[in-house]
Amino acid sequence: MAATASGGRGKRAPIVGINVTPMVDVVLVLLVIMMVSATYIVQQTMRVELPTASTSDGSAASMAAVTIAADGRIFFGDEAVTEAVLIERLRAAAREHEATLIVTADAHAEHGTVVHVMDLARAEGIASFAINVEQAQ
């Protein structure tokens, strides 16, 4: 027997349409879940936005990386640098293009050293920062 619907005065007509609303709802929920989970999988840094009124939110053309070891040594890229050399490298990075500074600090590094490095970068014109973190397992 075919499925029929009552269409009025006792006359029954077959159901010809399929209700796709529940399917669309499920697909949209799955799409949202995949989009949200994809950002957590790809994202390895925690972005920190500093509130300033004079800079824009535009994306950075390149990234400069500073690493702070547990004993307080500072590395620019892979090279150990002094504070004076760090200032010059930050100045050059800011002069060449709008740079994002990625700060990687050991868990036992002093908070004051991290803040000092970020302050030096802001003084040289770098206003966009990313804090490198280890992904929890």
Q: Residue 45 and residue 67: Cα distance in Å, rounded? A: 14
**Mean pLDDT in the chain?**
75
Say which DSSP state 81 is in. Answer: E
Rg (the chain; Cα; Å) = 27
Sequence-separated (6 or more) residues with CB below 8 Å from residue 47: 129, 130, 131
Rounded to an integer, the average pLDDT of 59-80 is: 77
Residue with tokens 């010059």: 88
Domain range 46-132, CATH class: alpha beta
pLDDT more than 70, % of the chain:
70
- Percent of the chain clearing pLDDT 90 (strictly above): 8
Q: Which residues pair with 76 in a beta bridge?
A: 66, 79
Question: Which tokens belong to 118?
Answer: 């970020």
- Going from N- to C-terminal start, the domains of the chain cover 46-132
What type of residue sits at position 123?
A: A
Please give the model's pTM, rounded to 2 decimal places: 0.52
Sequence-distant (6+) residues with CB within 8 A of 67 are 74, 75, 104, 105
